[in-house]
Amino acid sequence: MGLRWEDPETVRLEIRPELINRGGLLSGVVTYAMVDYCMGSTLWAHTTPEERIATITISINYIQTATEGEIVCRTVLDRRNRRIGILRSEIHHDDGRLLVTAIGSYSIFPARGRPPVTPIPEGAHEPR
């Protein structure tokens, strides 16, 4: 997609023709993904090697759109406890216009190893 990290809380993107939807505007999917990745990297910077994270929910407000130029997403971690992170993001166009605001919550959980693979006995069939 062409995301470029300035730091864990800041992600930039150059608007390119393939990111424009059939209506001739920047696709909402692009900005949503940008918010999710930026929120994830912001929270990830506040975790330990024994922790993992997963998106629970993101509420996004599309205020304006763009067709060219660069956009930047900045995220702030508002609250983090043992199991939840709450974040907020804004995406601005390089001309200063506010395009998107969002709030998100992420689950924080202990890292787990992969479960052992149990071989299928000879002659048995895999469950369907």
pLDDT at 28 (0 to 100)? 94
pLDDT in tens, 103-121: 999 999 998 875 444 455 5
pLDDT at 1 (0 to 100)? 85
In eight-state DSSP terms, residue 51 is: E
pLDDT in tens, 47-101: 999 999 999 999 999 999 999 999 999 999 999 999 999 999 999 999 999 999 9
Q: Rounded distance, CA 90 to CA 76, Å?
A: 9
Domains annotated for the chain, with CATH where assigned, are 4-55+65-110 (3.10.129.10)
Average the pLDDT over 37-46 and give the result.
96
Q: Rounded distance, CA 57 to CA 102, Å?
A: 10
What single letter denotes the amino acid at residue 74? R
In eight-state DSSP terms, residue 41 is: H
Average the pLDDT over 4-11 and give the result.
96
pTM: 0.84
Taking Cα atoms as reference points, which of 111, 88, 96, 36 lies closest to residue 66? 96
